């Protein structure tokens, strides 16, 4: 398709993937943010306790800014992330969209899939969530379908294994 200099090519616009992550992901991300924030605060206060008093004047504003950042991380980020994180698996491709400040969209044809893995960390198991990681020969790395219900993740993994097993291609 040739275009004149300065013109954008016309054609179909990339749509969002069809499925949202499980709604329990919001609570999972909040708890994850709280754990990270509390751990970081304990370390920062331990450091603050042992630094010379003259340094305290400089560290105080840093701590306030960090506290505001932690508040955003625990309250706004999970809600925005839930609205923007989406996924889809079709007979031809795996499509994932992630991000909360920026948006990343990744598409991989099934003929390029090398492995399909399911991951359930301890906190994810509490919320009955799992991640499905689809590895391809791409230099950009694997595609991860985050925070799926465990039953959905198992079905997606089984379907991807079935489809990729019969898809012709060199997966490189």
pLDDT tens-digit map of 66-76: 888 888 889 89
Split at pLDDT 50, 70, 90, the class of 171 is: low
Q: Which of 111, 93, 90 is nearest to 168 (CA)?
A: 111
Record the tokens describing residue 11, joined without a space: 């054609």
pLDDT score at 4: 60
Q: What pLDDT was estimated at residue 141?
A: 87
Who wins on pLDDT, 56 or 33? 33
What pLDDT, on the 0 to 100 scale, is given for residue 89?
Answer: 93
- What is the SS3 assignment for 129? strand
Q: Where are the domains of the chain?
A: 19-82, 85-166
Q: What confidence category does residue 47 fall into, taking pLDDT thresholds of 50, 70 and 90?
A: confident
Q: What's the pLDDT at 149?
A: 98
pLDDT at 169: 57
Q: What are phi and psi of 132, to 5 degrees?
A: -110, 120
Average pLDDT of the residues of the chain: 86
43 or 26, which is more confident?
A: 26
CB 163 within 8 A of CB 91: yes
pLDDT digits (tens, 9 = 90+) for 87-137: 999 888 999 999 888 889 999 998 888 999 999 999 999 999 999 999 988
pLDDT at residue number 43: 85
Using 50, 70 and 90 to split pLDDT, how confident is the model at 156? very high
Architecture of domain 85-166: Roll (2.30)
Nearest to 160, CA basis, from 119, 115, 123:
115
Distance CA 86, CA 16 (A): 7
DSSP 4: -
Q: Please give the helix or strand (H or E) that residue 115 lies within, else none.
A: strand 113-119
By DSSP bridging, strand 129-136 and strand 143-149 are antiparallel
């Amino acid at each position: 398709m040739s275009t004149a200099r300065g013109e954008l090519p016309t054609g179909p616009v990339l749509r969002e993937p069809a499925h949202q992550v499980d709604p329990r992901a919001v609570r999972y991300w909040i708890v994850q943010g709280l754990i990270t924030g509390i751990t970081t605060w304990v370390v920062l206060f331990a450091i603050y306790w042992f630094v010379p008093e003259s340094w305290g004047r400089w560290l105080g504003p840093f701590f306030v800014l960090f506290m505001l950042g932690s508040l955003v991380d625990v309250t706004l980020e999970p809600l925005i992330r839930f609205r923007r994180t989406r996924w889809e698996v079709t007979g031809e491709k795996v499509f994932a969209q992630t991000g909360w400040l920026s948006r990343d969209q990744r598409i991989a044809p099934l003929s390029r899939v090398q492995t399909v893995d399911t991951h359930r960390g301890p906190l994810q198991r509490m919320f009955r969530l799992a991640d499905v990681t689809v590895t391809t020969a791409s230099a950009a790395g694997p595609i991860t379908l985050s925070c799926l219900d465990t039953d959905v993740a198992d079905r997606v993994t089984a379907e991807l294994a079935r489809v990729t097993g019969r898809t012709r291609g060199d997966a490189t």
